[in-house]
Amino acid sequence: AQSVTQLGSHVSVSEGALVLLRCNYSSSVPPYLFWYVQYPNQGLQLLLKYTSAATLVKGINGFEAEFKKSETSFHLTKPSAHMSDAAEYFCAVHSRGGNNRLAFGKGNQVVVIP
């Protein structure tokens, strides 16, 4: 079964600094990978997704993620953090040929320090 691992439940980053959230996946077949963001008291919003086209995927709000098969990773980055990036971020995977069942990581709560 597919799964994802996100380390570090809380991540603090200074305003203007690099945001790096790590995601490693486990899947028996080439996966589809997603990053979702959840702002306080809101639902989940898709940031970006990997579907086997380009390995570097650009998403909304200046975020991007790179799929590295050799490292089974799909880390999320943003060059310069804004206060508005404070939210919880979830990495998720589902396998090709499956039934769209998403397996989520435990999430990273990002705090942006002024």
Partner 1 sequence: NAGVTQTPKFQVLKTGQSMTLQCAQDMNHEYMSWYRQDPGMGLRLIHYSVGAGITDQGEVPNGYNVSRSTTEDFPLRLLSAAPSQTSVYFCASSQPTGPGNTIYFGEGSWLTVV
Enumerate binding residues for partner 1 (CB under 8 A). 6, 9, 32, 34, 36, 41-46, 49-52, 90, 92, 96-102, 104-107
Closest to partner 1 by CB, 69 or 82? 69
> Considering the complex, what minimum distance in angstroms separates the CB of residue 15 from partner 1?
25
**Distance of alpha carbon 14 from alpha carbon 26, whole angstroms:** 31
- Give helix then strand counts, H and E, for the chain: 0, 12
Judged by DSSP in three states, 18 sits in coil
CB of 4 to partner 1, least distance (A): 9
| Nearer residue to partner 1 within complex by CB, 78 or 95 | 95
Minimum separation from the CB atom of position 99 to partner 1 (A): 6
**Residue 59 CA: distances (Å) to CA of 12, 46, 63, 76:** 21, 9, 5, 10
